[in-house]
């Protein structure tokens, strides 16, 4: 944690709002974003509220949509509309995509006519296409303009545009005909025309081009922006390099999750944020059901012990090895679960290879069970001097650890297929099943091999 974050926490703890407001407004945007990310949802809202108006707008644009929505919940309607109006159209659409339709329609109706038109334009395109993520805040020039006229127009519009470094040239029907740069315009003679310095070899994408293809093209060509045209080659927007980098990051992560058979990145990110930063009640809803399953399983495990109480009464030595059977099964299953989840996320296990991977893991579990079971059986015989009990311990460990590895792979995979949170649910379910099956298997072998003693 940075010193400034610690200082912010100190001011929050001491309720020194005056000092906190002075500090937070002297920081740059990156520092503010880092601090907000490190705070609880309640504290992050308070810190944001203390920002000066212009700074708060800049910071708001950089926040993830989840935090933006939380901030909205604490603002007056006028403040929400103000922030929405200040967002670039593409960022505004991204936020609207995450909000309920009724809320989106209400906010859209409150926008200025110009902003409403640009936002509605983007929302008319399919999800994950160039049309959906483009911004309409760009500078375009007619090719007949002189350099002097062009510079005046750029100065007039620069403050409201997302980028002015790449300038697109169109005819009177907005058909894209060329491209030039701010640098070329500045160094050109003021009496020259835009047509004389523009390049006609302009690379563009259409509104229905997949967003990942757009981002890759922009990145591969090393462009600061790429124009988006409609079917008639009319310029309707641009996509900038910062948007492309964000898309590449999101799409790459999404591909990893999809290839792994896990939920989408957005879903997983939402689950993670709920478990880390959500309210106590929202965390209960995810974690408590699995713990209640564990409680029920533990009671069932207790009933297994109760069912074999005569065995324990006749052979007290059998109780010595119960923790070993339960712990080795539970730990083996948890180990396999961790290995499986990591391999899925990294793409080392593909969905169509699951059964092959499961068979291999069962073989690994069997081999490890044979090794651990043999060692435990020998120790048991040296310790207690009962061959039957040693065989029961050894055989139980072999079967229990084999089953545990299968559960370690199967339970997380099944939970994800059912749309449940495997991070919160896999281990409790595995340990519960292993406690019941492990004890049952152990006592059955004790009865089988120690019948002469009972």
Residue-wise pLDDT tens digits, 386-419:
888 888 888 988 898 888 888 888 887 777 677 6
DSSP state of 164: -
Provide the CA 20 distance to its chain's centre, in angstroms. 31
pLDDT at 302: 56
Q: Which residue has the higher pLDDT, 101 or 9?
A: 9
The pLDDT-based confidence of 258 (bands split at 50, 70, 90) is very low
Residue 95: name the closest of 119, 134, 68 by CA: 68
Cα distances (Å, whole numbers) of residue 155 to 151, 182, 186: 6, 11, 12
Q: Does the pLDDT value for residue 362 go beyond 50?
A: yes
Q: If 0-12 CB within 10 Å is exposed, 13-18 middle and 19+ buried, where does residue 9 land?
A: middle
What are the E-state strand segments in 263-310? none
Mean pLDDT of 360-364: 87
Q: Does the pLDDT value for residue 81 go beyond 60?
A: yes
Average pLDDT, the chain: 76
Mean pLDDT of 286-294: 61
Q: Does the pLDDT value for residue 31 go beyond 60?
A: yes
Percent of the chain's residues with pLDDT above 70: 72
Q: Which residue has the higher pLDDT, 38 or 450?
A: 38
Task: Tell me the two tokens of residue 120.
Answer: 């509605």
Mean pLDDT of 76-91: 72
pLDDT at 387: 85
The whole-angstrom separation of Cα 93 and Cα 108 is 10
Residue-wise pLDDT tens digits, 88-114:
777 777 777 666 656 666 666 666 767
| C-beta separation of 347 from 259 below 8 A | yes
> 165-190 burial, b if ≥16 CB within 10 A, otherwise e?
ebbbbbeeebebbbbbbbeebeebee
Cα distances (Å, whole numbers) of residue 23 to 7, 26, 31, 252: 9, 5, 11, 37
pLDDT at 359: 87
DSSP state of 117: H
Mean pLDDT of 132-160: 85
Q: What is the pTM of this model?
A: 0.42
pLDDT at 263: 47
pLDDT at 256: 46
Task: Tell me the two tokens of residue 370.
Answer: 């044979």
Q: Helices in 63-146 by DSSP H: which ranges?
A: 65-73, 77-86, 89-97, 101-110, 113-123, 130-133
Residue 240: name the closest of 164, 177, 140, 159 by CA: 164
The label of the residue with tokens 């990942």 reads 212
pLDDT at 219: 79
Mean pLDDT of 133-159: 85
Three-state DSSP class for 170? Answer: strand
Cα distances (Å, whole numbers) of residue 376 to 185, 335, 363, 384: 81, 20, 20, 12
Q: What is the dihedral of CA 393, 394, 396, 397, to 10 degrees?
A: 110
pLDDT at 261: 44
Task: Tell me the two tokens of residue 192.
Answer: 């020259």
Residue 194: name the closest of 141, 125, 258, 253 by CA: 141
Of 37-51, 312-326, 345-359, 372-386, least confident by mean pLDDT is 312-326
312's CB contacts (< 8 A; 6+ apart) are 305, 318, 319
Q: Does the pLDDT value for residue 262 go beyond 50?
A: no
Q: Does the pLDDT value for residue 161 go beyond 70?
A: yes
Q: Please give the helix or strand (H or E) that residue 363 lies within, else none.
A: helix 354-384
Percent of the chain's residues with pLDDT above 90: 2
pLDDT at 291: 54
pLDDT at 24: 85
Of 108-117, 168-177, 182-191, 199-208, least confident by mean pLDDT is 108-117
The pLDDT-based confidence of 260 (bands split at 50, 70, 90) is very low
Can you list the domains of the chain with their CATH numbers? 3-129 (1.25.60.10), 140-241 (3.10.580.10), 265-449 (1.10.357.20)
Three-state DSSP class for 235? Answer: strand
The pLDDT-based confidence of 85 (bands split at 50, 70, 90) is confident
Task: Tell me the two tokens of residue 451.
Answer: 């019948």
pLDDT at 1: 55
pLDDT at 27: 85
Mean pLDDT of 228-254: 77
DSSP state of 126: P
Q: Does the pLDDT value for residue 254 go beyond 60?
A: no
Q: Does the pLDDT value for residue 146 go beyond 80?
A: yes
The whole-angstrom separation of Cα 394 and Cα 447 is 14
pLDDT at 389: 82
Q: Which residue has the higher pLDDT, 134 or 194?
A: 194
Of 82-96, 127-141, 229-243, least confident by mean pLDDT is 82-96
Residue-wise pLDDT tens digits, 222-233:
888 889 888 888
Mean pLDDT of 342-353: 69
Mean pLDDT of 203-209: 88
The pLDDT-based confidence of 316 (bands split at 50, 70, 90) is low
Mean pLDDT of 417-424: 61
């Amino acid at each position: 944690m940075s010193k400034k974050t610690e200082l912010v926490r100190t001011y929050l703890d001491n309720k020194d709002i005056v000092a906190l407001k002075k500090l937070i407004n002297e920081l740059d945007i990156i520092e503010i974003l880092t601090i907000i990310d490190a705070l609880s949802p309640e504290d992050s809202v308070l810190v944001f509220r203390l920002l000066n108006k212009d700074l708060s707008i800049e910071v708001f644009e950089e926040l993830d949509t989840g935090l933006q929505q939380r901030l909205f919940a604490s603002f007056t309607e006028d403040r929400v509309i103000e922030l929405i109006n200040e967002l670039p159209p593409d960022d505004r659409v991204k936020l609207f995509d995450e909000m309920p339709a009724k809320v989106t329609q209400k906010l859209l109706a409150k926008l200025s006519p110009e902003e409403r038109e640009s936002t509605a334009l983007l929302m008319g395109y399919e999800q994950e296409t160039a049309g959906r993520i483009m911004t309409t805040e760009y500078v375009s020039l007619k090719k007949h303009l002189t350099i002097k006229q062009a510079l005046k127009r750029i100065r007039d519009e620069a403050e409201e545009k997302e980028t002015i470094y790449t300038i697109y040239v169109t005819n009177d029907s907005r058909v894209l005909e060329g491209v030039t740069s701010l640098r070329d315009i500045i160094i050109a003679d003021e009496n020259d025309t835009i047509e004389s310095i523009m390049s006609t070899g302009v690379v563009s994408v259409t509104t229905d081009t997949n967003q990942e293809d757009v981002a890759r093209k922009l990145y591969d060509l090393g462009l600061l922006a790429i124009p988006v045209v409609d079917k008639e080659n009319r310029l309707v927007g641009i996509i900038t390099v910062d948007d492309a980098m964000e898309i590449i990051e999101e799409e790459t992560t999404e591909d990893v999750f999809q290839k792994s058979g896990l939920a989408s990145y957005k879903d997983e990110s939402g689950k993670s944020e709920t478990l880390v930063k959500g309210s106590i009640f929202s965390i209960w809803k995810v974690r408590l059901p699995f713990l209640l399953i564990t409680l029920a399983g533990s009671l069932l495990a207790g009933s297994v012990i109760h069912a074999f109480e005569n065995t324990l009464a006749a052979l007290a030595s059998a109780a010595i090895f119960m923790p070993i059977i339960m712990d080795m099964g539970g730990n083996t299953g948890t180990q396999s679960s961790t290995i499986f989840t990591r391999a899925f996320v990294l793409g080392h296990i593909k969905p169509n290879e699951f059964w092959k991977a499961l068979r291999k893991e069962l073989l690994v579990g069997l081999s490890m069970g044979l090794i651990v079971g043999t060692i435990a059986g020998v120790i048991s015989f040296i310790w207690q001097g009962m061959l039957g009990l040693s065989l029961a311990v050894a055989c139980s460990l072999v079967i229990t650890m084999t089953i545990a590895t299968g559960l370690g792979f199967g339970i997380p995979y099944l939970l994800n297929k059912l749309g449940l949170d495997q991070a919160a649910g896999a281990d409790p379910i595995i340990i519960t099943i292993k406690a019941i099956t492990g004890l049952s298997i152990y006592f059955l072998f004790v009865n089988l091999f120690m019948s002469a003693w009972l």
